Amino acid sequence: MIRDQSKDAQMQDDDQNAGPYLPRNAASHPAALHPPYRSSRLRSPQAEPITFPSTPSEESGPVFTGDLLGPLDNDLLHNFGPDGQSAIGPRIIVHGRVQDQFGRPVAGALLEVWQANAGGRYRHAKEGYIAPLDPNFGGCGRVMTDTEGRYSFRTVMPGAYPWPNGPNDWRPAHIHFSVFGAGFAQRLITQMYFEGDPLIWRCPIVGAIDDKRAVERLIAPLDMDNTAPMDALAYRFDITLRGREQTLFENRMEGL
């Protein structure tokens, strides 16, 4: 087979950094089909996904830089209302660390978040809940992790809301997260829940995850150490993205 220079450069790069991504552990994730979540019935592939070791197509990923972000992108309290007017509802700080499966920080990860307002209403054409819109709340924000993998944004506590599934299903309060790591193999969309919410364990979307501990890792604890006194409560949500196998080079360095 012909080897071209770009491949040599890529291999050299990999030798110094990391090998293929660890296979995704299906047990950490919801099943594609979870019949109590009605929409999954016709939208879940029936065949087992095909696996192969990651290649440059999965090990590379979109490159985003800090200049993408505007000054209010991580402040959902103020990024929508006119003249800097604040959104209605309990003010909270959501923060945490993005790491890989080896505990190494993922720097420069782009997090996009969206949520309902404090009354449980989304600003979306398809939304039909009777709770009112807040003229000062869009429900959309984004932030990038720093060199230690840390992120933080401000918002309001989202409300629970009813949804058409069973006869009387309510989503627990949650914030949706879209996460880009370094490689497209790490691409993840998830939801963060709030400590103590009795709706979490009744939710068919949460229930699609079999592993109770995997659900518990989606529940952000109240974090009194990081509140803003007389201003905002804080919740901490750490995120783990897939890791790349250690290379021989690294093993030698660490092990011998």
Which residues are the active-site residues?
A: 122, 161, 171, 174, 176
CB of 231 to other proteins, least distance (A): 23
Return the residue matching tokens 């594609």. 32
Nearer to other proteins, 214 or 227 (CB): 214
Between CA 165 and CA 34 the distance in angstroms is 12
Tell whether residue 247 is a contact of other proteins (CB under 8 A). Answer: no
β strands within 86-187, DSSP E: 91-100, 110-114, 140-144, 150-156, 161-163, 169-171, 174-180
Residue 228 to residue 62: CA distance in whole angstroms: 34
Taking CB under 8 A as the rule, which mask of x and - marks residues 99-138 in contact with other proteins? xxxxx--------xxx-------xxxxxx----------x
Is the CB of 92 or the CB of 208 nearer to other proteins?
Answer: 208
In the set 16, 23, 85, 90, which binds other proteins (CB under 8 A)? 23
The reply to whether 242 sits near other proteins by the rule CB under 8 A is yes
Can you read off the two tokens belonging to residue 82?
Answer: 């006119």
Between CA 53 and CA 220 the distance in angstroms is: 33
Q: Which of 87, 93, 106, 206 binds other proteins (CB under 8 A)?
A: 206
Q: With respect to other proteins, which residue has the nearer C-beta, 202 or 227?
A: 202
Binding of other proteins at residue 84 (CB under 8 A)? no
Q: Cα torsion at 28, 34, 40, 42 (round to 10°)?
A: 130
For residue 211, the SS3 value is coil
Residues numbered 212-241 forming contacts with other proteins, rule: CB under 8 A = 213-215, 217-218, 239-241
In the block, tokens 């897939």 appear at: 242
Is residue 65 part of the contact set for other proteins (CB under 8 A)? Answer: no
Subset of 156-185 contacting other proteins (CB under 8 A): 176, 178, 184-185
Task: Work out how close the CB of 196 gets to other proteins at its nearest, in angstroms, rounded to a whole number.
Answer: 19
When binding is defined by CB under 8 A, the residue of 43, 148, 248, 253 that contacts other proteins is: 43
Residue with tokens 């030798």: 15
Residue 53 interacting with other proteins (CB under 8 A): yes
Spatial distance between the Cα atoms of 97 and 154, rounded to a whole number of angstroms: 15
Of 159, 152, 79, give the one whose Cα is nearest residue 111. 152
Q: How many CB atoms lie within 10 A of CB 12?
A: 10
Closest distance to other proteins from the beta carbon of 162 (Å): 14
> Residue 165 or residue 227: which is nearer to other proteins going by CB?
165
Q: Does 6 bind other proteins (CB under 8 A)?
A: yes
